[in-house]
Each structure stands twice: as structure tokens, then as C-alpha cells.
Amino acid sequence: MTRDFLVAYLWTEPSIIRKGEQENRPPVSLDFISIIGGFFLNVIVNKFIKMGYKHISLYTIIALCFVASVSFVNHNYSFYEHPIAKVIKTNLEDTTEMNDMYQNEDRLFTQRIIAELKNGEEKGQLIHLTNEYSSSGAYDQEYHIGNELFVSIDTNTEENSDLAGTIKDVKRDKYVLIVAWIFILTLLIVGKKQGLFSIISLAFNAVLLSYALDVYLSTSGTSLLLICGISVILFTVISLLLVNGFNEKTYSAIVATLLGTFISLFITYLVMWLTSEKGLRYEEMQFVTSPYRMVFMAGLFVGSLGAVMDVAITMSSSIFGLYEKNNHIPVKALKASGLEIGKDIMGTMTNILFFAYISGSIPMLILYLKNATPLMFTLSMNLSLELARALAGGIGIVLTIPIGLYTSLFFINRKRVRK
């Protein structure tokens, strides 16, 4: 009924079709806006009425979590040890043009800021800050009214004078929360139940990785590679079981993921040993007090897991999907279809891995090249480790395609035997 009324209204209301012909009415009247609002409200109410008790409870919990998290990040100043100040006034005092020997142009600005302290003993007092930033914004930024800043308060100020201090960092938890909720809601809308399990597995993996690193830092005799190996097994098993459930498809993907990851790591280690690691530039990692080769291998281990897991579950889901459509499909047809699927995803997944690793080095590449650094030296300094990670992950992807195919066929044959 609502739809018929809306169509009739659109057909008879001339102000919507002809731009302001009758009595200089606006192109879209307020009546039309109210009709549209009522239409969408009616759709939402009908959708809500059709929901079951479980869905209503779940959406209520999500809404409460959203409200609670937003309220918390807007009033969590007391949870921080460092002083936080909210900008209430800014003034641009000075501008300077700069040119270096390579003709790179930049502009420097000096900004005076008055902010209100939000925590600590000086809560509610005003503090005067100075911010120097550049138009390039490489290591600095301009601050605006409403920004919240971590500051340090000068202790040598006179008793009756205004507080002064320096800016340490920006409080960004509000923006992180917004991005996190966009990610969570997108997963829930698209993935529904599996999206919820994906969020749970992601949170669990983050906690597990943090715990694994804490164990390594607190126990000097434990190998980081061993800790990461155990973590990879737990990541794989928990993630795939949570998202896909306890079934042969999941078991096949777990086996293929672990075999592909460990074999690719072994091949990478063998190549590094045979080539004496020539061409790998560890300069960016040598500030780490731990053995940087082991740190690199551990990062490579965990980094290639995501792409390998994606390929493994894609192969397993595809093969089992074909089998569930036709239980009598011959193994030869499954094998041919699996190989075709593997060929299709192999190139795209390898490119995704390559771009994911290389993209992080783009700022440093631009910085080196703008300062007249030779091209080959720039590439070797900034891309050697990323290319090694991409190649190791690519090896894992290619190996996982046949491994995933044959492990899926193995579990399918077991199901046929049981029948």
C-alpha cells in the first residue's frame, strides 16, 4: 500500500517533475520528503517486526556496544597517564618558504594554540602551545579547534603565569573507533553469522599474537620462530573452525593451509641458505636487539599465512561445492575444475600479496628519489625485504593450489566410502 501511494504521489505531484512551475514551489516539496521518510520508516518497522527474538537481541546488543564505546572514547581522559588538552583556539603567526639543494619546495608554518586540559591535577586550566608544521606534512600536521592532543606541561613556569607545554601526539582513539565500527558493521551486514564469527576470530588472533610476543619478550631462551610456528597453527585452526564450522571442508582447508605455509617457509629458508642471503638489506631491522634474521623469518611466516589461508579455503569450498551439487561427479572432473579455479585465483592472489607488501615502501621510495638517490640503490634499500616476503608468499600460494585440491579430494573420497 505504501508503494502504491508513493507511485501515485510521484505521478500527480507536478512540483517534483517540473522545476518550480506552480507558484514558484521548490523542485522537491516538503510533502515529498515526508513521504519518502515515511516510506523508509515503514520498511524498517516491517523488517523489525519480521525479525525473530534472537535477531532483535543481537541487534540490541550491537547498538548498546556502539553507544557504550562512543560514550567511552569521548570521556576516557582519566584513563590516560599523560596530560590531554583539547584545542579551543588557534592562530597562525608565521610562514616561511623553503627550498633545498635538490629544488624541493616546502612551506613552514608556526601556529599558536590555546587548549584546555582534560585530565590530571591541572584539569580545566588553559595551556599555551606552539606547533610548527609544513605543507608536506611528513612528520607534522596542522591542528584545528576540537583536536585532542597529548602534551607535556613545562614545570619551570611561574606560579601565577599561564601554563605552557609542548605537543607530543594526537589522541586518535575516536577515529580508530569509527573505522573499527565501519569494518564491524560491514562484516555483519555482508557476512551475517559468518561475519560475526570472523570478528570473533580476528579479535582472538590479535590477542593471541600479542600474548605470543609477550611470551617471547619475557623468556629470553625461547625461539621467536617456534612461538610464531605454534601461533600460526592456532591462528589457522581457530579462524577456519569459527568461520566455516566443523566439517570436512574446514579440515581440508586447515591441512592445506598448514602444509602450504610450512613448505613455503622451508623453501625460502633453503634459498636464503644457498644464496648466503645476498641481496637482502637488513638495515631497517638492525635496531632490533633480537637476531634480525630470525625476526625477518618470523614476520615472513605470519605474513604469508593470510594469503595461503585464503587460497586454501577457496579451493576447498569450490571443490566441496561441486561435490554437494552432484554427489556422483567423477574425481577427474573435480580435479580438472579445481585446477581451473586454481589458475584463475593464482595470478590475482600473487598480485594482491605483491602490492600489499610494496605499498608500505612508497613513502620511502619517494623520499629517496626526491633527494637524488640512485634508482637501484633506492630499490635495493627499500624493496629487498618486501620482495622476499612477496616471493615467499607467492610460493605458498602456488603450492597451496595443488595441496588444497588433493586434500579436498581425499576428504571427498572418505565421505564417499562412508556412504
**Long-range contacts of the stretch 141-145 (C-beta < 8 A, 24+):** 141/170, 142/109, 142/111, 143/87, 143/90, 143/111, 143/113, 143/167, 143/170, 144/87, 144/90, 145/87, 145/88, 145/89, 145/90
pLDDT above 70 for 49? no
Whole-angstrom CA distances from 89 to 9, 39, 151, 357 are: 50, 44, 16, 41
3-state DSSP assignment of residue 109:
strand
The per-residue pLDDT for 22 is 44
pLDDT above 50 for 341? yes
The per-residue pLDDT for 18 is 44
pLDDT above 80 for 8? no
Rounded Cα gap, residues 69 and 334, in angstroms? 48
* Model confidence pTM above 0.85: no
The per-residue pLDDT for 10 is 44
Q: Looking at the chain, how many residues does it have?
A: 419
Mean pLDDT across 323-347: 88
Question: pLDDT tens digits for 228-249?
Answer: 888 889 999 998 988 888 888 9
**Percentage of the chain lying above the pLDDT 70 cut:** 82
390: its cell numbers:
612477496
Which CATH class for the 223-418 domain? mainly alpha
DSSP class of 313 = H
- Spatial contact of 315 and 405, defined as CB atoms under 8 Å apart: yes
By CB atoms closer than 10 A (0-12, 13-18, 19+), residue 109 is middle
Give domain limits for the chain.
Answer: 2-73, 81-171, 223-418
Question: pLDDT tens digits for 175-203?
Answer: 899 999 999 888 888 888 888 888 888 88
H or E stretch at 362: helix 362-370
The per-residue pLDDT for 21 is 44
Rounded Cα gap, residues 283 and 267, in angstroms? 24
Question: pLDDT tens digits for 271-290?
Answer: 888 877 777 777 666 666 66
Q: Which residues in 351-368 are b (16+ Cβ under 10 Å) and which e?
A: ebbbebbbeebeeebeeb
Whole-angstrom CA distances from 157 to 23, 118, 160, 161, 281 are: 68, 19, 8, 7, 48
pLDDT above 80 for 365? yes
By CB atoms closer than 10 A (0-12, 13-18, 19+), residue 159 is exposed
- Spatial contact of 401 and 342, defined as CB atoms under 8 Å apart: yes
Quickly state the pLDDT bin for 62 (edges 50, 70, 90): confident
What string of DSSP letters covers 34-49? Answer: HHHHHHHHHHHHHHHH
What string of DSSP letters covers 68-99? Answer: HHHHHHTS-GGG-SS-EEEEEEEEEEEEEEEE
